[in-house]
Chains A and B, each alone.
Chain A
Amino acid sequence: MFIFDQTILSINYFLHLQPKYLTMEKLQLSQILVKNTSLYATRLDDKSEKVMNFIRVTKQKQEEILKLKNIDQDKLKMVVQL
């Protein structure tokens, strides 16, 4: 679980004030959220090791994907001949 230090908005608050957004066809947040949980626009703790490590790992994965775009010129000479 990530550590949040600021609570700005609660989805339950909006659901209460703005029922016009609730239609039968439209997907509702309650369908995807764990029971009795709400979403908040919280400020992430940039001192949290877990948050920073997650961001660092994501950036490493991005670098690995970008490396795949650099074609090894020698491999282009491989002959497909069976």
Chain B
Amino acid sequence: MQILEFSKANLAFALSNNYTSAALVQTKYHFKYFSEYLGIEGLNAKSILIEDSYISKDFLHDYASYYALCFENYPKACKRVHFFQNQFNEVDFQNIIISEQSENKDFWNAYLGFIVVKPIPLTLIGYTVLKTYSNGTDFDSRNFWGIRQYSIHIFGNEVKIDSLAFQEQDSVLAACATTAIWTMLNKASTDFYTTLKSPSQITKDADSVSHDGGRLFPNKGLNLLQICHAIVNSGLVSEIKQPDYSVFNDEGKIIDTFISNSYLKKILNAYSPIGIPIILVIRVPNGGQYGLHAIVVSGYKQKSPEHIPPQDQINFLSENIEKIYAHDDQWGPFVRIDFENEIDLITPWTIASADNQPTRLIHIVVPVYPKIRLSYEDIEVIVLGLDAILTLFFDGKVIADLIWDIKIDYSENFKKQIIASSLDEKEKFIHVSKSLPKYLWVASCYVADFKIIEFTFDATDVNNGMFGNTLVCYLPSDFKVILSDFLEVNKELLQSLVKHKANIDYYKFFTDKLK
């Protein structure tokens, strides 16, 4: 055991190993990122504790799969580097770890997490669990929805912190896509349907050969289909979201396609309540060229909604997402990403590149539980129609434009919201006592700060079915009567706005539920 004061030089020393010197460590993007993340502007670490001969289960799997078979005698034990927000010496620490943990609450509250240093050349950042910056669910707070609780055992003491594990790709057993899946599974595996696997196991799950027909290891990256295979073999399924924005040349021909920032925000907002981190396939500037890279989003910051005057254009609450936080295996955990114009993202790759070349989003891979069968797009199509109907009904008489919030959630959470709502007791009982599927798509409609109406859809139903589930109206009953009459009177004109094979049934459901 070794205790050091936190400084850049000591951090580089702590992260070095027999194959990679402290000087070489300092050239890595990870070092630059961790220096800032743990530094005075970040988590403000004061002390470093180095724990030698640490057995990392995760590395052990990869060691057995590959490194043990190398001629070079790579060690199987790692070192674990802990960070604290307080200062102490070796004697203090020895006294603390042998005394009752409850007597040292303040000391352990200052624990910030650890980085495992693998005994391999250069790609040495192993299993890493670090605290997040401040976290909350209110507007204007960082909302890390893709994290979980980790129990960390340090010399007989147990510390719990909320985080999402991180590690660097080792470029042999795993490329960025494998590491992204591993990060995602760290959270998803808290549900018993999903299995957490080591990077080498994930790469093997993706395919039996490389995408170019060659050997799987050293791994040369995964294609999107292989990423989906690996996800399925871990007990989840994936939804791939493809570009919605085209770039044209002077002759009007499409020269490139990307996912717009608006679509990205909708998807993150929609799937975040399930809590499974979402994989982004991005095109990043790298050494004067562009390359495809995979990162994992686990949080965002959403500003308070602004009141927009009534307009024909549909508005989504997701537009208020102003930053996202992602694990980028070549930089670090919870890397901040900003939005610029319609398609550009500002990532550390952008900042590090000459002329700040933008990062752009190519695909989104949304891992979901297999029971979730309806996608976001199935619901947005319906909501576009509902928005049009309500816009025609309100006829510009509302104080602000309708804002929609489309999310998938557990039905138990939906019921909790009903209990906490302003609905009267009778209505609450009707909704809470109703048998519901495990997952619901919930489309909430707001006027200014008021939720006025909420539509739910059975997320486990088949796409052709009448998946409308519940309608909750937060306005008085007389409003419901007028709206219901409006729907009856204009049925011929408005029914076709419910874009679905079961539109007749859904329109009837909408009308009847208001009565």
Closest to B446 in A: A32
Interface residues of A in 50-82 (CB under 8 A from B): 51, 54-55, 57-59, 61-62, 64-66, 68-69, 71-72, 75-82
Residues B378-435 near A (CB distance < 8 A): 378, 380-381, 384-385, 387-388, 391-399, 422-424
The segment from B45-53, B121-129, B335-343, B472-480 that touches chain A is B472-480
Residues of A contacting B244 with CB < 8 Å?
64, 68
Whether the Cβ atoms of A18 and B493 lie closer than 8 Å is no
- Tell me how far the C-beta of B205 lies from the nearest C-beta in chain A, rounded to whole angstroms: 16
Report the Cα distance A54→B389, complex, angstroms.
10
Is B209 interfacial (CB 8 A cutoff)? no
| Distance in angstroms between the alpha carbons of A13 and B381 in the assembled complex | 35
A78, B223: Cβ atoms closer than 8 Å: yes
Tell me the complex Cα distance, A5–B110, Å. 69
Question: Does B399 contact A32, Cβ atoms closer than 8 Å?
Answer: yes
**Residue contact B292 to A28, C-beta cutoff 8 Å:** no
- Residues of chain A within 8 A of B58, CB atoms compared: none
Number of contacting residues on B, CB 8 A?
Answer: 74
A75 touches B242 (CB 8 A): yes
B284, A32: Cβ atoms closer than 8 Å: no
Q: Which residues of B contact A55 (CB under 8 A)?
A: 388, 493, 496-497
B249 to chain A, nearest CB (A): 19
Residue of A nearest to B314 (CB): A61
Closest Cβ–Cβ distance, residue A64 to chain B (whole Å)? 8
CB <8 Å contact, B394 and A39: yes
Q: How far is the CB of A51 from chain B (nearest CB, A)?
A: 7
Given contacts A43-B490, A62-B385, A69-B377, contact A80 B225 (CB under 8 A): no
Contact B497 A59 (CB under 8 A): yes
Whether the Cβ atoms of A26 and B385 lie closer than 8 Å is no
Contact present for A44 and B490 (CB under 8 Å): yes
Taking CB atoms, residues of chain B closer than 8 Å to A76 are 223-225, 240
- In this assembly, does B483 line the interface, its C-beta being within 8 Å of a C-beta of chain A? yes
Cβ–Cβ contact A6 & B489, under 8 A = yes
A39 and B424 contact, CB distance less than 8 A: no
- Closest partner residue, chain B, to A73 (CB atom): B225
A79 adjacent to B479 (CB under 8 Å): no
Nearest chain B CB to A65 CB, angstrom units: 5
Assess A82 versus B384: contact at CB under 8 Å? Given A39-B479, A41-B482: no
**A38 → chain B closest CB, angstroms:** 8
B512: shortest Cβ distance to chain A, in Å?
15
- Closest A residue to B291 by CB, please name it: A82
Q: How far is the CA of A45 from the CA of B263 in the complex (A)?
A: 34
Complex partner residue of A77 from B223, B388, B482, CB under 8 angstroms: B223
Q: Which residues in A have their C-beta under 8 angstroms from that of B442?
A: none
Query: Which residues B430-466 have CB closer than 8 A to chain A?
Result: 447-448, 450-452
Q: Is the CB of A18 within 8 A of B176?
A: no
Q: In whole angstroms, how far apart are the Cα atoms of A57 and B394 in the complex?
A: 18
Please measure, in the bound complex, the distance between the C-alpha atom of A11 and the C-alpha atom of B467, giving whole angstroms: 31
Answer whether residue B220 sits at the interface, using C-beta atoms and an 8 A cutoff. Answer: yes
B286 within 8 A of A: yes
Tell me which residues across on chain A come within 8 A of B240, comparing CB atoms: 71, 76
Is A18 a contact partner of B385 (Cβ separation < 8 A)?
no
The 3 closest A-B pairs by CB, nearest first: A81-B221, A14-B478, A41-B485
On A, residues with C-beta under 8 Å from B are 1-2, 4, 6, 8-9, 11, 14-15, 18, 21-23, 25-29, 31-34, 37-44, 46, 51, 54-55, 57-59, 61-62, 64-66, 68-69, 71-72, 75-82
Known: A33-B397, A58-B497, A69-B375. 12 other contacts (CB 8 A): A25-B422, A29-B479, A32-B448, A41-B484, A62-B381, A71-B242, A75-B363, A77-B211, A78-B292, A80-B222, A80-B281, A81-B177
24 CB-based A-B contacts, threshold 8 Å? A2-B392, A2-B395, A9-B485, A11-B482, A14-B476, A18-B477, A21-B477, A26-B475, A27-B451, A32-B475, A33-B397, A39-B394, A39-B479, A40-B486, A44-B392, A44-B494, A54-B312, A54-B391, A55-B388, A57-B312, A58-B385, A61-B314, A68-B244, A82-B284
